[in-house]
Structure formats: structure tokens, C-alpha cells
Chains A and B, each alone.
Chain A
């Protein structure tokens, strides 16, 4: 398992764990509870890294939607790379 933030563009991976506060849904602080999973990023989902350059946010493809995500959050999501 590795953090989502370390995938290179084009790589696909399955989400294994989202390491955020328990009991407060799924976000990192209270205000973002739920948000990350409501938008479609959940354990078991396969995502594709579309853009991962420099220190800015990353861009993922989840099904047919493109989700931009802060790098800090991406580092707390653990994934298993898809073997081709």
C-alpha cells in the first residue's frame, strides 16, 4: 500500500483506506466531514491519477468525474496499485 499522492500520472489504484478522523465522517476537520466520500472517493474504488505535478493539488479520475484534491489529503488515502 502506498499513499495516493505518490501515484504517477496514468497509474490506476484501488483505494484501501482513508485515514481520517473516526466518528467524524471522512474529512479531516469537522467542516469537511463526509465531503471526501460523498464526492465519490471511497474504499474499494479504483481511481486513476491524471495529474500529479509539483506541490499543488492532484487530479484524479473517479469513474467519469475528475476530482481535484489537496495533496495533504491525498497523502492520507492509502491505495494499492493496479498491476497490469
Chain B
């Protein structure tokens, strides 16, 4: 049943009563627009209860995201647009936001304004108003404005702009009801007052009127499709995107005359004239409605910045922060990971086997479950604590505002590789997971920067590679685990610099870009939002474990056990495939079929390398059954007490973090199988070469997809794949052969 609400509910019904007739109201689509970091995503999360990504740095949302919820029985659809400073088509975010607004014509725009930066935010508001769509302003971050002692004349603002202005604090969910009420009222009663037009100088307006007349007369179909006044401005400004889209050409003499006249009168280019007109309006409005206290306090943010961005201290502080982050990651997660290993390999396996026996499943199913799925997925799952801990710290970096500082501090260093500081943010995110890092390249201004950054991101060692390092380091370098692990990360960074230098001179010649970025105020992320966003980031690994890794584990098991009845694993399909590839890895020190097949399966996702090794090296199920199995209660008791121990250890580790031993990998019985097997087939040198190979070869299938999406072609992924394979092989070769030469073999 479709109802035309305009007919059923005429204007005489006040908006407040709409609750009584719920369910019949037309659903609303609201576009949330505003400056970067104004709190758009936070506001949507608060309204709709969603978990869109939030972070205290400009450019968190790069793609439009949507969320839906119901208010008073009415379906409301929110669109989270990327933050923009303007609606000119210079950055990808601006184009995304503008195209959405112009083409989809949402019912109402919610313009999220950071009141602590009113003038600059109003500049965008004024451009949004040009579109002629109904608009309600959320005057956000109102808490900080009050704290600073600002006085805002909200009534005056409403009058001057001709829109409703609602103060909000998105983080504390304040003002949301009023905002929703204002939005629904406007959607249901599009009163003429909401269509008040902000006028610029007379000469601009009359030129625009000429252009509008031309459009209306000669291109009526465009006048239907676009807001005419806006289109006239864009046309006057010579907006390339619009001219291309509409096919408009300034052929009309009257139009060119009108524009020329403006240019002469102002002695400037038309774009600057328009920008100035908008900006003076914004500045004038701000002056009218905002009273700041006479004396400005020096804020905490500035005090912190003096230290953190100090010429000499900046980089050491950054490196120290990184070191602490890695160290805490492992200290907190290690005991929990050990506990999980013990549970999955011990009782978990026994129970699964027992269950299958109970169900009278054939022997091979028991092997599939225990040797295949549990060995494969289990060996990856145990790294979930590490990955979550890492995501927690990255979330903290994002939420506190330090992320943008890191970009500032590293700007100079980044210039040497032909990039600027902003490219550093994707790289930093890459330590968590390369996939969001690839998406984060979108905030960079041009394709050159984006592509170069995306090519280097995979050299940042992501969380998924950790399992491999930890297994190998545990087997060979347990005494120096921390140092060796650190060296792997540093190796990746070093190679990123090297490759940057090479790319800068080959594929990416041309002017190094200019750095311009807003540094947000420091904010203490709330515990709740830390937890939510850590979970949102980390859950992908769990999902991966339940999907790809599960699938690959099953596949690997079959490949290891086919043709049916193979007794020697190396005669299985996987074994043969591994043997075929092994010669390539021979000069690198790991030319065994086991290592080769593990690396092949790792193309899907790096964690799988450990999973496959777990399956290959796993002890036969029969052997394990020989030991008298403990009873269920014994098992449960053991699991419980060891969990308590693990939690206690991770808590104490945080506080004793600076003790040098806390990173060492304790010997644990359960993983002994895989570990001893590795110790038999690798030497410390070849193990290190293997680790580096894993660091450097193609990160995972999802990154491939992400790169394809971002660039719209496979070209850049192709280049990344090619150079990484060559690099991985070369580095492993040099390390292994070099090491042998100096007698490390």
C-alpha cells in the first residue's frame, strides 16, 4: 500500500502529533553532511545505534555509509557523507558528497556543524543552502563551546539562515530528540520559510539570474534535474565536472557577458569571487551570532602539541609511542593466546573427537574435524587476543587525536619518499590491517599519492602476519623474541622507504604534493567507544577465521588426504603441488614441500600459513588418543583455572611492561608438535628468511579486492603483486645466502 502523505496528512496536523499516526508516515532519507571531524558519524551512531567508524582525525569516513532506524514508527534512513570543507569538486570526498546531494535529493540535509569552528563550517553550510534542499543544522560539539565560554545566538542564526538550528552533543546524545523533531517537521511541512535564499552581492546575483534564464530557456531538462540557482553558480564558476555532466557550454553571449562583467568588476577569477562572497557571508554571520570570551585560554591541546610536535622531541616521542604500543599488545595478549592454544589443542580436540565418535561418524570425519578444521582454524584463532589488543591501541591512537600528529611529525621523512605526512595515516593503520589502510588512501588529494601510498601499505606488517612470526620466533628465537619481532617490523618500514625512493624515481615522477591538514583537538576517547571500535575492527579477523580460513582449512585437509588413501602426506595433491613449487624456494632456505604449500595457501590470508603448517605437521590423531584422556570435569577445571591465571598475567604484564623479559615466548607443551617439526626442517637462518618472505609477499586476497575497488582497475594491484613477489624472493635470498656466507647457516 502506498500512501501519499501529503494528501492524507495536510499541514493542519502539527508535527508533534505524528506519533499517533505512526506507521503511515512516509519513510525519510536524511543526508548527514558537514566538515571533516565535525561528528557526523558519531551523530548517526547516536541516532541509529549503529557502529559506523568514528575517529578523532579528519577523513575517517571516506565513502558514504548508511544506517536506518525507526522513530515514532517511521523509517528513517541516514546517509553518512564523507566530511568536506567545500562542495567544489576537488577531492574525491567532495565529489561523493555533492553527487549524492544533487542526484539523490534527500528529504532533508542534516548539516553537522562544529560550533568551535563556526566560520569555516558555515562556509560549507552556505554552499549546502545553495542546493535549495530542506536543511536542518545540528550545532554539534556544543559542550566544548560552552566550556570555552562561547555564547551563540541560536535564534539569530535561525533567522539569518532561515533554517532550524539545534544544539547537539553527539557524544552524549544530547539534543537528538529536538533534532529529529525539527527534521521530521521540515520534511512534513516544507514551509516557504525554509526556502529562504541567502543572497550574495547584487552583481553576482544578477549575473546568476542571466545564466539561470539561459538555462531555463534553452535547457529545460537540466532545470528539472538540477537546482537552477546552484547550477548557474557552478556554470559561472566553470566547474568542469558539471560542465561535462550537463554538456553546457558558455555559448550564449549574454552569459559570457554577464560573467566577464563580474570578472572585470572584481578584478579576480570567478571562482575566487564566488568563494569570497560565500566566505564573507560566513564571516559576517559568525561575527553576528558568536561571542567569544575576551581572553583566550591556552588550551591543553596547544600545551601537549608544544611537546609532541617539538622539533627535536617529535620523532622520538612518536617512536616511543609505537614501541610501547607493540610491547603492550604482546604483553597483554600473550597469556590469553597461550591459554587459547592450550584449550583448542587439548580439550577442544578431545571433545570434538569424542563427539564424532558418539555420532558414529566415519574415521575420516574425525580427522577432518580435528586435523583439518581444528588444527587450521584453531591455530589462527589463538591469535585473536593479539589482534584485538593491536586494534585496541590503533583505535586509541585514532580516538585521541594523536594520529594526525603522527602525520605532522612524519611529514618531513615522508617527503624523502615522494609523499607527504597525510600518507602516513594509511601506513599506520596498515599495522592493524592493510584493508582499511587501502581505503584510507582516499583522503589523499590525487591519484599519484593514493597509488604510491597503496603500493607501500602492504609493507606495513599487518596483524594477520603476526601468527606466523610468533610461531617461528617461538621456535627459534624465544630468548630474543621482542627484538626479532621488532626487527621484522622495522625491516618492513625500511623497505617501504627504499621502495618509495625507487618508485619516486620511476613510476611516480613529478611534483611532491603539498601537505595541508587540520589537527583536531585531543580528546579522551570514551571507554565504550574504544570497545566498540576495537570490536568492529577485530571482528573481521573472527569472520575471516569462520569463513576463508575455515574453507581453506577444509580444502587443505582434502588436498592433504587425496588421492584417497595416501599414506605419505608428501604424495597427496598438496604435497605434490608443494614439491613442484619448492625449487623456487630452495635458494631461500625453505625449499620443502611443507613450507611451499603453506605459502601458497597463505595467498588467501597470511594467517593461513600457520593453519596449513598446523595441518601438515599435526600428529596423527591416533597417536594422541593413546594417552588416557582426562575426564570432562578435569578438563573444565583446568580451562577455568588457566584462564584466571592468563587474565592475571596479562594484567600484571601491563604494569611490568618495562621489564625486559615480558615478551619472551614461554615454552608450552601443546604447540610442541608444530614447533619441533619446524625446528627439524628449518634453521634459525632459514626461519628468519621465511619470516621476511611472509612479511613481504602479497598480503591477502581482500587487499587485492580493496585495491581494485579504490582504483577501479587491477593495474595497481598487479604492480603491487609483482613487485612484492620479486622483493620477497630477493630479500629472503639475500638474507639466507648472505647469512650462509658469513657463516650463520
Contacts and interface: CB of A to CB of B under 8 A. Distances in A.
Interface of A: 22-29, 31-40, 42, 50-51, 53-57, 59, 61-70, 72-73
A34 B519 contact: no
B511 A67 contact: no
A31 B412 contact: no
Contact of B515 (A27, A40, A70): A70
A29 B449 CA distance: 14
Interface in B698-735: none
Contacts of A28: 514
Contacts of B88: 25, 33-34, 38
A26 B275 CA distance: 10
Contacts of B185: none
Contacts of B518: 39, 65-68
Interface of B: 85-86, 88, 90-91, 116-120, 123, 148, 269, 271-272, 275-276, 279, 301-302, 305-306, 309-311, 404, 407-409, 411-412, 420-421, 445-446, 511, 513-519
B91 A35 contact: yes
A38 B94 CA distance: 12
B116 A39 contact: no
A56 to B, nearest CB: 4
Contacts of A70: 411, 420, 514-516
B275 A25 contact: yes
25 contacts: A23-B269, A25-B271, A27-B514, A29-B514, A32-B516, A33-B271, A34-B271, A35-B91, A37-B275, A38-B86, A40-B120, A51-B305, A51-B306, A53-B310, A56-B412, A59-B305, A59-B309, A63-B118, A65-B518, A66-B305, A66-B519, A67-B517, A67-B519, A68-B408, A73-B515
A57 B421 contact: yes
A38 to B, nearest CB: 4
Contacts of B116: 64
Contacts of A65: 117, 120, 518
Nearest to A41: B516
B411 A22 contact: no
Contact of B309 (A25, A51, A67, A69): A51
A14 to B, nearest CB: 14
A38 B88 CA distance: 9
Given A38-B86, A70-B515, A72-B514, 11 more contacts: A22-B269, A25-B275, A35-B516, A38-B123, A42-B276, A55-B412, A63-B118, A64-B117, A65-B518, A68-B421, A68-B517
Contacts of A24: 271
A69 B86 contact: no
Contacts, number: 122
Nearest to A53: B311
A70 B412 CA distance: 9
A69 B422 CA distance: 11
Contacts of A62: 120
Nearest to A33: B90
Nearest to B88: A34
A72 B512 CA distance: 11
Nearest to B286: A63
Given A33-B88, A66-B519, A23 B271 contact: yes
A23 B269 CA distance: 5
Given A23-B269, A38-B85, A63 B117 contact: yes
A25 B278 CA distance: 14
Nearest to B448: A31
Contacts of A54: 311, 412
Given A65-B117, A68-B421, A59 B408 contact: yes
A63 B411 contact: no
A4 to B, nearest CB: 13
B305 A32 contact: no
Contacts of B445: 31-32, 35
A42 B420 CA distance: 23
Given A25-B88, A38-B86, A69 B120 contact: no
Contacts of B279: 37, 42
B158 to A, nearest CB: 22
A78 B9 CA distance: 59
A30 to B, nearest CB: 8
A68 B412 contact: no
Contacts of B411: 56-57, 68, 70
A67 B514 CA distance: 13
A1 to B, nearest CB: 19
Contacts of B90: 25, 27, 31-35
B272 A73 contact: no
Contacts of A63: 117-120
B516 A73 contact: yes
A72 to B, nearest CB: 6
Nearest to B144: A64
Nearest to B145: A64
A31 B411 CA distance: 19
A68 B123 contact: no
A11 B407 CA distance: 24
A46 to B, nearest CB: 12
